[in-house]
Amino acid sequence: MLCASLAGVAIGGPLFGMMGFSFLATVTLLLISSPVLLIFSPLLVSAVFVLVGALTGFTAAIAMGIAGVFTLAWICRE
């Protein structure tokens, strides 16, 4: 029982230490990056609108291409 407890502490201790360091680093980076995100939010919102518009355009182009291929296949079948 004592050996199992020592092994658990030997394995779990460093894991808890790494978990704490990871949490501390995440919170620190979040606190540093929050003002930057607030300053650049108009630019980021515009970039998201452009990205959504581009993806919508590509999706529409793919749908029209598939419809064209099906139409040509339907015409050639008759």
Write out pLDDT tens, residues 7-18.
Answer: 888 888 899 999
DSSP class of 17: H
DSSP class of 71: H
pLDDT at 78 over 80: no
Contact 24, 18 (CB under 8 A): no
pLDDT tier for residue 39 given thresholds of 50, 70 and 90: confident
pLDDT for res 8:
84
DSSP class of 40: T
pLDDT at 6 over 90: no
